[in-house]
Copies of this chain bind each other. A is one copy, B any other.
């Protein structure tokens, strides 16, 4: 707010939730202050990196004392935009959609999936994790009326791009894409890919390398 919004590194940004979680745990133990070293130790990470990351988020500590646990939690949440609650629409009522609709871990982030959309008549009208499943044709109208800004894509890969296009036409500002496909989208729209395939590739390649080493 008072500080100029410097561009912070993507990698740094992605470490923030871990910091938040550690602070949450430490706070629940009744501890009021914590040093970067203590935070870093929990992940076998460099204390300097923690300090830099927190600085980037605009959090301030006190020399000799450390960072105030609750204040720093608030600061991270503020930085990540987790203090404003976000309503989101989810498209795709399959297995993955069901998991996302029912997942409770998004709560600290203030993310609430308020409705699910699908084009399968058998699913429409039912509930998914307590949320109504609606005809995908209703997305646009409802998104505009409710000022929903986040769209979550959990459809098969071949339908991902058209779903994204539809979302953008509906005024969606940010897309969280779980389909294994890169989306093309206009400049200025926030697109975050949550495709699991890179993670699986890393796992299996490392497992293979390990095996190859053992054979040698």
Contact = CB atoms under 8 A, between A and B. Distances in A.
Interface of A: 5, 10, 13-18, 21, 42-43, 79-82, 84, 86, 94-96, 98-103, 105-106, 109-111, 129, 149-150, 157, 173-174, 176, 180-182, 188, 190, 192-210, 212-213
23 contacts: A5-B209, A5-B213, A13-B198, A14-B201, A14-B202, A17-B198, A18-B198, A80-B205, A80-B208, A81-B205, A81-B207, A94-B102, A95-B101, A105-B180, A105-B197, A109-B200, A109-B201, A150-B203, A174-B203, A174-B206, A190-B206, A193-B199, A194-B196
A94 B95 CA distance: 11
Contact of A207 (B43, B129, B149, B207): B149
Question: Looking at A82, A201, A212, which has the most chain B CB atoms within 10 Å of its CB?
Answer: A201
A31 to B, nearest CB: 19
Copies assembled: 2
Contacts of A111: 200, 204
A146 B53 CA distance: 44
A contact patch SS: helix
Given A13-B201, A212-B5, A181 B21 contact: yes
A150 B182 contact: no
Contact of A176 (B105, B106, B203): B203
Given A190-B203, A194-B196, 17 more contacts: A13-B201, A16-B201, A17-B180, A18-B198, A21-B180, A80-B204, A80-B208, A84-B208, A99-B100, A103-B196, A105-B196, A109-B197, A109-B204, A149-B207, A173-B207, A176-B200, A188-B210
